Amino acid sequence: MGETYLINNKLAYVVYSPADSGTGMASEYLHLLVSGNDTIQNFGVRRFTNLTYKFAFNDKKELLFLDDQHFLPEDTNYLAIYKGNQLIGKKPFNFTHNKAYLSPNGKYMVYFTQAMEAFVVNLKNFDKTKIEKPQKELHAIVWSADGNNLALVQDHETYIGTDEILIYSIK
């Protein structure tokens, strides 16, 4: 079981169910977002993917899913949009990234390149803004509950062996 969420005033959680019974299915799991006995979203069978910051609900009550965990680098990463467990759209990304995370409000995505650069993407128009930060190892990211602030934990610029927290206001 994964993280818990409050969705439509109901407690929901992610379930990772092994699907390893068939040939060639090692390390594959069914990924579900459930609330009580109801499946809110079936993300399908895939290699294990931590879904924290990989999905969000926008102001239209659509579920946004960051589909970027592919085996082949040439596979297209995209933002899938669901309404009532039905796929209603896919928006491909025209940039490559190493790691990416959706904001809880479904308005933004932050992504990091192999060169440790960071960008925030407005998901309405896909405009991106570079975040000025030191080119240091990233350890964790945390979005505020309203999606308007972003905290990054990374190696400190000058104090070796320590971390620093960088906080950004996203507007």
Give per-residue pLDDT as tens, 108-119. 999 988 888 889
Of the chain, the percentage scoring pLDDT greater than 90 comes to 30
> In the prediction, which pLDDT does 114 show?
82
What is the value of pTM for the model shown?
0.83
78: burial class by Cβ within 10 Å (0-12, 13-18, 19+)? Answer: middle
- Percent of the chain scoring above 70 in pLDDT: 92
- The CA dihedral of 121, 105, 58, 3, to the nearest 10 degrees, is 110
State mean pLDDT over 45-50.
78
Edge-to-edge strand ranges of the sheet holding 99-102: 99-102, 108-112, 118-122, 128-131
* pLDDT bucket at 65, cuts 50 / 70 / 90: very high
**Which residue would you say has higher pLDDT here, 123 or 44?**
123
pLDDT of 121 over the 80 cut? yes
